[in-house]
Structure 1
Amino acid sequence: MERYSRQLLFNGIGEEGQAKLLHSNVLIVGLGALGTVIANHLARAGVGSLRLVDRDFVEMSNLQRQMLFTEEDAKQLVPKAVAAKKALEKVNSDIELEAIVENVSVDNIDRLMKDVDVVLDGTDNFETRFLLNDACFKAGIPFSYGGAVQTRGMGAFFIPGETPCLRCFIESGSATGDTCDTVGVLAPIIDIVASLQVIEAMKYLVGAKDKQRKTLESFDIWSNTQQKINFAGKRADCPTCIKEEFPALHERSKSETTLCGRQSIQITASAPFDLKQMSKKLQQVAQVKETPFLIRAMVSELETIVVFPDGRVLIQGTDDMTRAKTLYSKYIGN
């Protein structure tokens, strides 16, 4: 237990709390900026099992704030979940790390949440956050929400049956469209938000529920402003807390999705791909880079197609859905 000696000295953890952490299972959705900081803290704290889920791969622009990745990861187009696992294995080889390269959706959320004690939000879009919120409240699993853009941050720890949920504060149609890819972000705000998410999760896992923060925190570290919204009560018409309708769980998975601010559109095929066969096909018409996890084909100076084995295809270089579908049909097929 020497690894956790300084943590054991803290009265709020101690030997009993550390034992609880070692027997905890946590799901982290999104291994970008927030997710890498979250995973780093939890792995070093000795949370026994971390399930790391992300649909994307490492790019050079990630390195400014996504702390578990290297230039080599970006050069090799390593999926973020895989790269994060590789980095964390060098930090703590005693815990269980599971890397899953998938797009989180209605179709797989139940499987991804199986046997976990807490779900932590490392995503960059509200569509997925509302899905996590609804799935957690239906299953009775706490949800640690966090978001950061520019120098603004927001976070809260929601416990089904005890606190309001994300929909009580942010309605699905009112979420801002700002993302790190459209308006930028400074790395310090990431560390602050993710650390707040982690400490609330740790409080819950060790049983220190009397210490849980009962507010939604909102702050800007550039303009030095801060706001706390108390968990005064659930929204009277909340479709999740009050009506238990869980609307995100009834929405069909989209086969086409625009990735906000990325000039990328994701199209999901009806079946998985054989990467070897797809690589041979694309090599006839494009400059192809093949890795064990994906294929990246440059079809023009501005447009790139990335193919994942689970059936996902990213059309990069356009945010025009018609153009994306045209490229998909031309190079991937029906």
Structure 2
Amino acid sequence: MNDRYSRQTLFAPIGEKGQRRLKKKHVLLVGAGALGTGNAESLVRGGVGKITIVDRDYVEWSNLQRQQLFVESDAIERIPKAIAAKKRLQQVNSEVEIEAHILDVGPQEFESLIENVDLIIDATDNFDIRMIINDISQKYGVPWIYGSCVGSYGISFTIIPNQTPCLHCLMETVPIGGLTCDTAGIISPAANMVVVYQTAEALKILTEDWGARREKLVSFDLWKNEESKINVSSLRKADCTSCGVHPTYPFLDYENQTKSAVLCGRDSVQIRPAKKEKRDLETIAQTLSSMGKVEQNPFLLSFTVEKKRLVLFQDGRTLIHGTKNISEAKTLYHRYLG
């Protein structure tokens, strides 16, 4: 056994047998921000066989405070996060196979990425993608680890098809938030703590130590010195359309996905949520006012930032002016509007 992993194999629950299992495993990592880079580095250093990294964004200066694989030159050159992460990870451990995809991932992309994947790790920043991950996980029987953080708060839960409630089951009961790092900020220890929970669970799953798996949902607030572990096993629903007796995987259906389109003849993209919802424009205006210029009337809210203008209507429909790039528009939408 390679001496590189000697301290890890000395840990009895892993040992040399577990290390050999790790080397044969393939992890799909969705997102290369704070959670993605933290998970990727830990698993690559630990000797997982293959990591596939998917991210649609590029490195910005504000990322360097907490996204540990990136350096200043990546931000200066606006290197795509997946590419910058792969470059650094290959320097960390050349034995690990690393694939990098610059993708705005959706159901079709997941269908092509999921083959031979043993575990999916959620390192995303929006629930559109998480719900797609959830349905892909259930459809193909691949475990996934949910993780989220904002401010000093974090949450994580491991979802095993046919055993645990899925994220769709939990949505109506567990408060899993709507703020983002760009509207509420974040401290790096909160992201690091979520990574700790995710990578620990990942090692258990990848070494097939199923009995050690944490069965409860965990949440914490580092600033308030609070932590809770919630038994959510009773929330699994037999009639859940994602994981129930007769699943239909609704979030893989086009009708249940956020729609986006470039407006004909205009330097603008329209984004429409999957379901109509009445947005509280007054509350959103208060949140955004410190970050850019906010104008409002009874029907819509206009927010100007980064030479872009986001116009939000009460039904959730949003126009992003100043770009024809759908990926860029989606990034701005999720960054500022959750």
TM-score scaled by structure 2? 0.77
Instruction: Percent identity, please.
Output: 42
* TM-aligned CA deviation for residue 176 of structure 1: 2.5
Gaps of 5+ in 2: 262-267, 272-303, 313-317, 326-338
Distance 1:165 1:112, change over 3 A: same
Q: Are residue 328 (structure 1) and residue 317 (structure 2) matched?
A: no
* TM-aligned CA deviation for residue 238 of structure 1: 2.2
* TM-aligned CA deviation for residue 170 of structure 1: 1.7
Contact 1:126 1:175 (8 Å CA) reproduced: no
Q: 2:243 aligns with which of 232, 237, 241?
A: 241
Deviations 1:192-228 (A, max 9, x none): 1011111111101111100000011111111111221
Q: Are residue 77 (structure 1) and residue 78 (structure 2) matched?
A: yes
Deviations 1:220-257 (A, max 9, x none): 11111122111423135422121412110113555528
Q: Are residue 87 (structure 1) and residue 88 (structure 2) matched?
A: yes
Matched residue, 1:296: none
Matched residue, 1:109: 110
* 1-structure distance, mates of 2:269, 2:196: 31
Deviations 1:240-275 (A, max 9, x none): 121412110113555528xxxxxxx8679xxxxxxx
Contact 1:55 1:101 (8 Å CA) reproduced: yes
Residue type at the aligned position of 2:311: D
Deviations 1:164-206 (A, max 9, x none): 1112212499753200000000000111101111111110111
- RMSD (Å), alpha carbons: 2.5
Distance 1:45 1:136, change over 3 A: same
* 1-structure distance, mates of 2:74, 2:200: 29
* 1-structure distance, mates of 2:11, 2:270: 49
* 2-structure distance, mates of 1:241, 1:99: 29
TM-score scaled by structure 1? 0.78
* 2-structure distance, mates of 1:167, 1:229: 17
Contact 1:130 1:172 (8 Å CA) reproduced: no
Matched residue, 1:154: 155
Give the number of aligned pairs.
279
Contact 1:145 1:157 (8 Å CA) reproduced: yes
* TM-aligned CA deviation for residue 162 of structure 1: 1.2
Contact 1:126 1:172 (8 Å CA) reproduced: no
* 1-structure distance, mates of 2:38, 2:322: 38
Q: Which moved more, 1:194-203 or 1:45-54?
A: 194-203
Matched residue, 2:141: 140
* TM-aligned CA deviation for residue 92 of structure 1: 0.1
